[in-house]
């Protein structure tokens, strides 16, 4: 079964986020607290949305996504931040069911694109995605600015025009 996450899912969701981070060999980077997740998913202005995959034993996976905008198409789209299925539940169709539910959300919302990243070494996931007809965009590189370099660049600003419009 696939369902929308509720505020009661926060502890389990955080646990699965840490499991995903461990699988991706970056557990030290998974620092989000339950309170941060609660605010991001269920606060006054949600930043993201989550679905839970569950079986008779409880939550076995999740998908966390947020809307994005394409200047090229002039339309909104969906960015899938996380897709995770616990090891003992893999191969039972939970990941595909989460992706199908997200694709349906895209269609209902009028979104033209559904995009996400996958680690180059994660061949089991890549194989599943390719079986669904996903187009892998090898020519693009992910750019990330954080920590001290983010602060250093931010310090170079001379003025912010219309700061009230920033969200």
Looking at residue 164, its pLDDT comes to 62
Catalytic residue among 62, 84, 111, 129: 129
Burial class (CB in 10 A: 0-12, 13-18, 19+), 98: buried
CATH code for the domain in which residue 58 is found: 3.40.630.30
User: What is the residue range of 140's domain?
Assistant: 2-165
Residues with pLDDT less than 50, the chain: none
Looking at residue 157, its pLDDT comes to 85
Mean pLDDT, the chain, integer: 93
Q: How many domains does the chain have?
A: 1
Q: What is the dihedral of CA 56, 62, 67, 71, to 10 degrees?
A: -130
| Residue 62 falls in the annotated catalytic set | no
Contact indicator for 63, 80 with CB cutoff of 8 Å: yes
Looking at residue 64, its pLDDT comes to 98
In which residue are the tokens 């990330």 written? 144
Q: What is the pTM of this model?
A: 0.88
């Amino acid at each position: 079964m696939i369902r929308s996450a509720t505020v009661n899912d926060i502890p389990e969701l955080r646990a699965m986020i840490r499991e995903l981070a461990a699988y991706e060999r970056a557990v030290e980077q998974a620092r989000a607290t339950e309170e941060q997740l609660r605010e991001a998913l269920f606060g006054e202005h949600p930043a993201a949305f989550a679905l839970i995959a569950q079986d008779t034993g409880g939550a076995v996976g999740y998908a966390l996504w947020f809307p994005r905008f394409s200047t090229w198409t002039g339309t909104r789209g969906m960015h899938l931040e996380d897709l995770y299925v616990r090891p003992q539940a893999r191969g039972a169709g939970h990941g595909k069911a989460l992706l199908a539910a997200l694709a349906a959300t895209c269609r209902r919302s009028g979104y033209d694109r559904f995009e996400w990243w996958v680690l180059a070494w994660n061949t089991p996931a890549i194989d599943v995605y390719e079986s669904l007809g996903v187009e892998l965009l090898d020519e693009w590189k992910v750019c990330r600015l954080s920590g001290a370099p983010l602060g250093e660049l931010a310090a170079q600003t001379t003025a912010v025009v219309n700061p009230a419009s920033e969200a």
